[in-house]
Amino acid sequence: MPKGEGKLIAQNKKAHHDYFIEETYEAGLVLQGTEIKSIRAGKVNLKDSFAKVEKGEVFIHNMHISPYEQGNRYNHDPLRTRKLLLHRREINKLIGYIKEEGYTLVPLKLYIKDGFAKLLLGVGKGKKKYDKREDMKKKEAKREIERAFRERQKM
């Protein structure tokens, strides 16, 4: 199964708008108690999250997983830092990327694959304002072409 396939739970739509994604990695998540139940219910937000390499391990910060409704005292802190599971060679590659100027680790998608929660992590380089404008122009031009094509087919 290729990377990024499974039941999609959450997606960071802003990531492709704000970054040039150069490479992606699939990582497992270390979860506590009722977190997987909240994930399966789709109560996850990747909007402001980011990943960091600390002491040879990769962690995700600011990923919001809402507390499980029937979890009572077994619930978790929604914004806690969670460890990502990657192979050593992948972590070493990520460390090499991050040492370069301008690269960052961006969570792209969270999905369930074979019963496990997986996170698609992208190595991204930040876009400048003019890059974003150019992307918007291309998108708008593509929309116009498709609209004109549909109008022509109706005739």
What are the phi and psi torsion angles at 30 (to 5°)?
Answer: -95, 115
- The domains found in the chain, sorted by start residue, are 7-127 (2.40.280.10)
Name the pLDDT band for 1 (thresholds 50, 70, 90).
very low
pLDDT tens digits, one per residue of 111-120: 988 888 899 9
Interatomic CA distance for residues 89 and 58, integer angstroms: 12
- Please report which residue ranges of 4-154 form alpha helices under DSSP H: 15-18, 35-40, 88-99, 129-154
